[in-house]
Each structure stands twice: as structure tokens, then as C-alpha cells.
């Protein structure tokens, strides 16, 4: 099987746990996730099967949307509800106007420091491994991330529910902590649900139990979307049947072997089809106004 399962990851499982479960259900070794989701978080986790693992990185780079809740007045060492409380402050003087103003400061490009309890590697070690061994004085490099959109959904005393869309590498735990620091009382992430990863939506997810049942009924293929499903920002190009063998062997295909129905530009990555079947990600080359195509990732 080759394709992608849109899994609804439950709380209490790591992304690796989900991969292992899917690997057993599908009875195949080549299975991979498309970016970790914290064990205490739930939501969209696309799982790639077979040849689809070649595009896992492309899905990882997509925007992601979350519903999150932060709780003001408490700071933990993990920035979420699973950590040890390291600070408490009374947030009762914070009003809604203060909260909206603080959130406004975290729109657009921001500088963020990932949590010490995260899977980022420093000198070959995961940060959470260093933290658990007592090495909490590790220098963690800040990073630029983009908060594309952030909207407060509800404020209930010290709890703020919000929706946020972010670029790759953004930690919602750090965002909650930083908003709490901006308000001067600290905060931790008390809830997290990923609702979108690229064009994978929570409304179209399957639970692991549903996947297991589908497999038992020999209907697992019905739950799998094609490898080209997430490539929504790629233009399409078709290779003629006469050029199929040459293309599959890695040769450059000249314009006479292509079906041209739109404009392309030099170095453009495109999704390639033969007989209406997706077969590759290709790269366009423009030479003397002629369009050439070279395979970038083959799925044949």
C-alpha cells in the first residue's frame, strides 16, 4: 500500500507509538509520521505508508492549525500541565483588554525559544533527555517562526481558549508561556488539539480503532488518500506514454514527450502524471523557451 492515512492521534500516545500501531495494523515496515505531536496533545497526524514516506518532509513543512488553551498565573517546567509547577502568581488583576493586547503582540514573525522538554537535538541528545538527567542549563537557540493567525475564542477567568495557525517548528507550549510572561503572571498550556496539518483536516481523520476495523474487513485502502493529495500547491504536468520508460529511468524528458497545458517556470517543482496516474515530483527546466522535465522524486 502506498498513500497517507489521516489519523486522529489520541492523548497519551507519542507520534512514534501511533506509527508502531499503524505498522502492525497495515502489516508493513515502511511507515512514518509527518511531524511529532506532543503525547498530551490530540489531533491530526498524517501517517505515510510505503512510497508516500518520500514526501513526509513536504507535509512536515506545511502550516498547522491548533485549538489551544492557556492557563494564566502558573508556570511549569514543561510549559504544559504535565510538568512541575515552578511559579505561581495571582492573575486576578488581568482583564480581557490586557489579554487581547498581549495576544496581538504575537502575530506575524516572532522569536521563540523551544521548551527544554522537547525533541530537539543538542550535541546529539534530545533536549528532554538532557532535562530528565538534570541538565537544565543547556543553551537553547531561539528561532524565527510565523504566527499566521491567532484568535481568542473564549476567556473564562484565568483560562484563555484560542485558535492559532503557525509555520513549521512553532511550539504552542512556548507561545503560551511567552504570552503569560508578557502579561507578567506566567502561563502554561492546559489543552492542545491539532485541527489541521496542511490540507489534512480533523473532520476527515480516522481513529486507530477505525483503522483496525477497516483492516480486519479488508477495507483499509478505502481510508488511504493518494500520495499527491497534499501537493495542492504544485502545478501538474503530464508525460506522454511514449516517454514513460525514459522518465522512469531518470532521463530528462523534452517538450515533445510532454503534454503542455499551462505556463511553467525554470526550477519549478511539479507533480507528474502518466495516463492520469501520479508517478513523481518533477523539476522543470527552461532552455531556449523549451520545457524540459527531470524527475525529482519517483513514485513508480
Which residues have a catalytic role annotated?
A: 38
Q: How far apart are CA 70 and CA 237, in angstroms?
A: 46
Instruction: List all residues 6 or more positions away from 229 whose beta carbon is below 8 Å from its beta carbon.
Output: 3, 4, 199
Cell of residue 266, nine digits? 525554470
Looking at the chain, which runs of residues are DSSP E strands? 3-9, 31-33, 42-49, 64-72, 74-76, 85-88, 108-112, 121-122, 125-126, 143-156, 159-166, 187-197, 200-201, 224-225, 235-239, 258-259, 269-274, 277-287, 290-298
Residue 142 CB coordination number (10 Å): 11
Q: Are 258 and 240 in contact (CB under 8 A)?
A: yes
| CA separation for the pair 260, 23 (Å, rounded) | 40
Dihedral (CA of 140, 141, 144, 145) sign: negative
Q: At residue 177, what are phi and psi to the nearest 5 degrees?
A: -60, -45
Amino acid at each position: 500500500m502506498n498513500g497517507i492515512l489521516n489519523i486522529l492521534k489520541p492523548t497519551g500516545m507519542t507520534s512514534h507509538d501511533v506509527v508502531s500501531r499503524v505498522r502492525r495494523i497495515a502489516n508493513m515496515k515502511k511507515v512514518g509520521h509527518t511531524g511529532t505531536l506532543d503525547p498530551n496533545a490530540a489531533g491530526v497526524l498524517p501517517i505515510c505508508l510505503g512510497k508516500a514516506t518520500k514526501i513526509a518532509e513536504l507535509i512536515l513543512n506545511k502550516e498547522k492549525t491548533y485549538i489551544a488553551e492557556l492557563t494564566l498565573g502558573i508556570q511549569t517546567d514543561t510549559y504544559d500541565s504535565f510538568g512541575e509547577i515552578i511559579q505561581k502568581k495571582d492573575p486576578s488583576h488581568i482583564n480581557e483588554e490586557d489579554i487581547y493586547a498581549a495576544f496581538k503582540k504575537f502575530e506575524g514573525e516572532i522569536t521563540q525559544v523551544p521548551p527544554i522538554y522537547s525533541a530537539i537535538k543538542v550535541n546529539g541528545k534530545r533536549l528532554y533527555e538532557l532535562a530528565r538527567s538534570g541538565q537544565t542549563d543547556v543553551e537553547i537557540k531561539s528561532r524565527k517562526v510565523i504566527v499566521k493567525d491567532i484568535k481568542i475564542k473564549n476567556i473564562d477567568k484565568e483560562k484563555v481558549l484560542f485558535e492559532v495557525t503557525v509555520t513549521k517548528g512553532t511550539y504552542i507550549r512556548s507561545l503560551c508561556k511567552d504570552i503569560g510572561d508578557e502579561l507578567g503572571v506566567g502561563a502554561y498550556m492546559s489543552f492542545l488539539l491539532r485541527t489541521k496539518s496542511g490540507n489534512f483536516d480533523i473532520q476527515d481523520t480516522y481513529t486507530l480503532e477505525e483503522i483496525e476495523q477497516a483492516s480486519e474487513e479488508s477495507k483499509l485502502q478505502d481510508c488511504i488518500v493518494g500520495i499527491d493529495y497534499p501537493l495542492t500547491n504544485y502545478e501538474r504536468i503530464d508525460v506522454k506514454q511514449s516517454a514513460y520508460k525514459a522518465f522512469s529511468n531518470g532521463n530528462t524528458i523534452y517538450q515533445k514527450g510532454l503534454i503542455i497545458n499551462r505556463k511553467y517556470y525554470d526550477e519549478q517543482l511539479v507533480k507528474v502524471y502518466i495516463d492520469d496516474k501520479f508517478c513523481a515530483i518533477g523539476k522543470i527546466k527552461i532552455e531556449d523557451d523549451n520545457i524540459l522535465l527531470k524527475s525529482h522524486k519517483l513514485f513508480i
